Amino acid sequence: MAMSLRISWPEIIPFAVCITLLITAGCGSELHPRDATLPEVVDYNFHVRPILSDRCYACHGPDANARQAGLRLDEEAGAKQERLASGGYAVVPGSLRKSRLYSRIHSDDPDVRMPPLESKLSLSDHEIALLSRWIEQGAEWKPHWSFLPAADVPLPTVQQSDWPNNGIDHFTLARLESEELTPAPEADPGTLLRRVTLDLTGLPPTLEELDAFLADTSAHAYEKVVDRLLDSPAYGEHMASMWLDIARFADTHGYQNDGDRYVWPWRDWVVEAYNENLPFDTFATWQLAGDLLPNATLNQRLATTFNRNHRQTNEGGIIEEELRTEYVADRVNTMGAAFMGLTLECARCHNHKYDPITQANYYGLFSFFNNVDESGQTSPYAVPVPALDLPTPDDQEELDRLAREIESAERAVGNIAEMSRLGFTSRYPSLPPDTDPRPTLSCEFERLNGPTLPCQDGKQGTAVFTPDIVPGYQGQAMAFDGESGFSFADMGEFRRTQPFTVSLWINPGEDTGAIVHRTLAAQDVGSHGWELVLRDGRLVAQLAHMWPQNALRIQTIDALLLGDWTHVAMTYDGSSRASGVRLYLNGLLADVETVRDGLTRDIIYDDLKVPLQIAYRHHDSGLRNGAVDELRLYDQRLYGFEVARLAGRTEVTADRDDLFQWYLAHEVTPWQRAQAALQALREKENTLLEGIPAIMVTEEMSPPRPAYILNRGQYDAKGERVEPHTPDAILPFPDDAPQNRLGLARWLFHPEHPLTARVAVNRYWQKYFGTGIVSTPEDFGRQGALPSFPELLDYLATTFVNSGWDIKAMQRLIVTSATYRQQSEASPVLLDLDPDNKLFARGPRLRLSAEMVRDQALAVSGLLDRTLGGPAVKPYQPGGLWQEKHGIGIRYEQGSGSDLYRRTLYTFFKRTSPPPSLITFDMPTRAQCVMRRQRTATPMQALVLLNDPQYVEASRHIAARMLGMETLEDQIALGFKLLTGRSPNPSETKALQSLYAEQLEEFSKDPKAARRLLETGESQLQAGLDPVEWAAHTMVANTLLSFDEVIEKY
């Protein structure tokens, strides 16, 4: 039923009513200090709901746990049809006398009056009058405006019919005419060109572009400029900056350690997607669920890095599942804000206090993002999984060739094996003689020489703490307390392509602990390496590049006996497959189950010396109250009968297939050659892969991980199980959509979805005008601001959808409107009437974003390197900031050459220590999704522009351009026009000439100071310029960089 509803907006909300609305909703400053008057018709959505939501819903809203007296005011039935415990009904349409709501808000008795005193909330006389009139007028109820599908809105009729350029202007002009106001004149051409060039590319126009535009007298000169700018590569870079805030993109993981992450290819994909004008529904679907599309391409899979851009940690001592749960919650919250403008996080611990989103709904959405085979703890030695290899075309061609050759080599090995079976049957009816394979390490654990464990062939282990000598399986053994053990340098380093075997006797005292391994730690490093451990009593063998996805793990079905000696062995054939690993208990092949089988990258530590470790592991449980004896390590795969002999079994019955494999490896020369060729190909592939970067992406687990309502949002407080679903109050989930992220994306872009298009176009409007039509872009719910132009918002939303979600077309629609093209100057009367430009009676005037401030300085100075894409760069930054945050060993290594002058989009962004000059200009820390930036004006911003080497160096290069002119007046005029897009007026020229004369005098007295100023930055000094004049002009240019017209678009 909800799907067929359409919004019925008030015809035109009078300006006085807008004031009432803003005061009532608490969503913005009032437009004019005139007395608020009651509207003739009280509208539920615009006048009543804001009061109820702000003052009443906390106790009488959607959250059943917080609800008082059983009264629910967020639903019509609760207010009008549910009889109160005290008798009567809260709202009786048309009857103030019978409406308990009316009597309670009018009562002078503090024990009766609502809201109660202890709530610290109150109603103004005007709000009480609004509620009273609403009841008198019949108490019409409406669903929340944003939960109804956007309607096709007819264009309003306007008197000044020659003013509108497109549909936008009909809505803004109709409002102005209703207020007896007129639009501002169109901005002058130079100002308009600078405004639109900055808005579409983030860069100022060049003088050549300005001159060409001023010289173009054709009717559509401006539209041609817009089309040129939309086709510019700089357009995609500028649009990407806004999306990176939403996607919480950064070049580091965050949290305390804040290690680097390799994610810039996703950032470059975003730029490319905007430049190629990927439709918004496709743009979003690829990011949410590109991996689930049929025959997903590399770019579609790469796009899903969006879901993984949240913070991650590799700190020791964390609870892995707790952090994994936080990652999933972040994805839910980001999806909710980015695409629906909802505060979903408010329903994580309980039902939403204001919006119709239950806690079960939250975890239904949670379950869509819960199926990523990841760990809550990442590793500094591997890319968090799931990960996508990003080979160059040449590398991909080589990988494909190697894959074909490996497949062919495996067939050849198999064919030779089949042809050799007859010879095996005739020659080996029973076991071969004792083969006595030679170990690379053999330790008896009989004694300690101080901290040293002597082993055969002069090899030795180093004691960690002090293990105890105890009776062993044979002679003596070593016992451990969970922290003690032995390490062996330069032992046990095997690549994933190398066969090996480990064998020893253990006497476990507890059911979990590390036995033997070559890893730095467990979860701390993604279990990178190989290990043989006990887990819940079962023997577990694992090889991992990064747990859990890029790893293989098998474990025994049966648990080991505690307090008794058991011979355990692990053999591996170098195939990178779980089927290539075998576990043996007391010389017998154990029944096992495969936990993971996805190893595709190497397991060694490239430049780090990691020892072989016995009975202990950093940040993990060792072999507490257990003992080991008779350790053997081999650089080859042993066969079952060989393991049985190590276990001391006197009667060995060989497995015929196992014996056949031994026969092939020792007696069949063609097979040995074929196996060696296969091994060489695997090693070549492995080496090639290690040089290919990988990026974390999203992949679906099979089967899906179950999801549960988490009581109070706690990871370990599992309640009722939930299946993937969406809030019906917004839109029922389509019957034909899969219950996964792809289905979620289809739900978001369903034609009847009320939020997705509105949220998107509101964000675009905010980009150009500073404030969205809904001023709370992150909250379209009941506590968010009401739309200032609801019909315009729906017009934009439906236009966007009908265009096929064409992003460039929407930008073009906005910037070609007469509303956008107005001059930004306001008369004192208009400024007093509408200081925030909520009526759009003038053009936008806003401070440039942090990126635009810096990029403009680089562009005008001629320093800007316009190279598109690539790894993050490290421009100038005050020294020591990273050390202060992270201590010794973490240093900011400043770049050089062109890296210092790339667009700000490419600046390396460290979450815990963001670039200070950018943060000063209100760039967010990217710790979470941000839908709108703060916009501040502080003295720190002026200090950055006057002192940061980036701006001083840019000023020097602007000054050099100025000195190319003959006269001082022309020099100043050039610098002024470069930065503002216009020529200075006489008073501005005079002020700048005075500044130049003052600086010239100062530097003439101290030429060394002039030289020091000019040497700021790493770019070369141009030859042939007088340093004193150059320094003086540098100060003029530096002053202009702080001029409000320069750091603003107007």
- Average pLDDT (102-107) is 92
What would the pLDDT profile of 421-453 be if each residue is shown by its tens digit?
988 887 776 777 777 899 999 999 999 999 999
Q: Which domains does the chain have, with CATH numbers?
A: 2-147 (no CATH), 309-390+694-751 (no CATH), 441-637 (2.60.120.200), 946-1049 (no CATH)
What pLDDT score does 652 carry?
Answer: 74
773 closest CA partner among 592, 357, 292, 764: 764
The pLDDT assigned to 668 comes to 95
- Predicted confidence (pLDDT) per residue in 147-158, tens digit: 999 999 999 999
Rounded mean pLDDT of 711-730? Answer: 97
Residue 613, SS3 per DSSP: strand
Mean pLDDT of 744-758: 98
Check if the beta carbon of residue 1032 is closer than 8 Å to that of residue 806: no
Residue-wise pLDDT for 616-660, tens only, equals: 998 889 999 999 999 999 999 999 999 999 999 877 777 888 889
Average pLDDT on 656-681 reads 94
Task: Using alpha carbons, select from 243, 263, 241 the residue that is nearest to residue 253.
Answer: 263
Residue 36: what pLDDT? 52
Residue 7 scores a pLDDT above 60 = no
pLDDT at 26: 36
CB atoms near residue 221 (< 10 Å): 15
Nearest to 860 by CA among 1041, 1043, 1045: 1041
Q: In this model, does residue 11 exceed pLDDT 70?
A: no
Cα angle, residue 647 at apex, residues 644 and 649 outer, rounded to 5°: 60
- pLDDT at position 25 over 50: no
Q: Which helix or strand (DSSP H or E) is residue 643 part of?
A: helix 640-646
Cα gap 557→555, rounded to integer Å: 6
pLDDT at 526 exceeding the cut of 80: no
Q: What is the mean pLDDT of residues 520-542?
A: 90
Q: What is the DSSP-derived secondary structure letter of residue 110?
A: T
Confidence of residue 169 (pLDDT cuts 50, 70, 90): very high
Mean pLDDT of the chain: 93
User: Is the separation of the CB atoms in 313 and 678 below 8 Å?
Assistant: no
Can you tell me whether residue 200 is helix, strand or coil?
Answer: helix
**Could you report the per-residue pLDDT of 859-913, keeping only the tens digit for each?**
999 999 999 999 999 999 998 999 887 766 789 999 999 999 999 999 999 999 9
DSSP for residue 1019: S
Structure tokens at 647: 């276990």
Looking at the predicted structure, is the pLDDT value of residue 276 above 70?
Answer: yes
Give the residue from 85, 404, 392 showing the smallest Cα distance to 265.
392
* Low-confidence winner among 397-411, 602-616, 745-759 (lowest mean pLDDT): 602-616
The pLDDT, as a whole number, for residue 426 is 75
Helices (H), 26-107: 49-55, 57-60, 76-80, 100-106
Rounded to 10 degrees, the C-alpha dihedral 312/316/318/319 comes to 100
Q: Give residue 24's pLDDT.
A: 35
Confidence (pLDDT) at 640: 92
> Peptide bond before 93: cis, by omega within 30 degrees of 0?
no
> Confidence band (pLDDT; 50, 70, 90) for 32?
very low
Contact between 234 and 866 under an 8 Å Cβ cutoff? The reply is yes
- What is residue 876's predicted lDDT score, i.e. its pLDDT? 98
pTM of the model: 0.91
Radius of gyration of the chain (CA): 36
What confidence category does residue 932 fall into, taking pLDDT thresholds of 50, 70 and 90?
very high
The pLDDT value given to residue 655:
83
Count of residues for the chain? 1050
Q: What is the pLDDT of residue 260?
A: 95
* Alpha carbon distances (Å) from 449 to 460, 463, 466, 480, 730: 10, 10, 11, 17, 73
Question: What does the pLDDT read at residue 888?
Answer: 63
Whether omega for the bond prior to residue 706 falls within 30 degrees of 0, making it cis, is no
| pLDDT score for 19 | 33
